[in-house]
Amino acid sequence: MNAGNIISCQEFCSFHKIESSFLINLQEYGLIEIQSVEGEDYIDNDILDDVERMLRLHYELEINMPGIEAIGHMLKRVDELQNKMQILENRLREYEDFSEL
């Protein structure tokens, strides 16, 4: 077990002062994966940013699980669109540059 890569759910929840049912809920909605090691639950360090984002959405903005799931899809879409826009902006710049030549 590499303590640098996973964090115990219990520790995570007590740090953020939330009930452990939150992470279980996220798992039930298929939004995160919880690993079980020797009877204790852990989440991967790599998904920490995502979990904390979902936590903020839930506790600060009062968004429920289906809402968090939908927002997750939308954010993925926004990310794809932003990438696409960047590519298009670069292409547009090529044309603008050439009109100066």
Partner 1 sequence: MDFIDYYSILGVPKDASENDIKKAYRKLARKHHPDLNPNDKEAHSTFQKINEANEVLSDPENRKKYDKYGKDWKHADEYEKAAQAGQKQPFTYSHARHAGDMFEGGDFSDFFQSIFGAGAQGRQYSSRRPAGLKGQDYKTELHLELRDVYKTHKRTLDINGKKIRITIPAGIENGQTIKIKGHGGPGINGGQHGDLYITFHILSDHEFKRVKNNLYKTADIDLFTAVLGGEILIDTLDGKVKLKIKPETQNASRVKLKGKGFPVYKQAGKFGDLYVTYNIKMPIKLNKKQKELFTELSEIK
Positions in the binding site for partner 1 (CB under 8 A): 3-4, 7, 11-12, 14-16, 45, 48-50, 52-53, 55-57, 60-63, 71, 75, 78-79, 82, 86-87, 89-90, 93-94, 97-98, 101
CB of 61 to partner 1, least distance (A): 5
In the bound state with partner 1, the residue whose beta carbon lies nearer, of 25 and 53, is 53
- Closer Cβ to partner 1, 25 or 72, answer by number: 72
Sequence-distant (6+) residues with CB within 8 A of 76 are: none
Least distance between partner 1 and beta carbon 52 (Å): 5
Q: Exposed, middle or buried: residue 91 (CB in 10 Å: 0-12, 13-18, 19+)? A: exposed
> What is each CA distance from 69 to 19, 81, 93, in whole angstroms?
19, 19, 36
Least separation in angstroms between CB 57 and partner 1: 6
Rounded least distance, CB 35 to partner 1, Å: 15
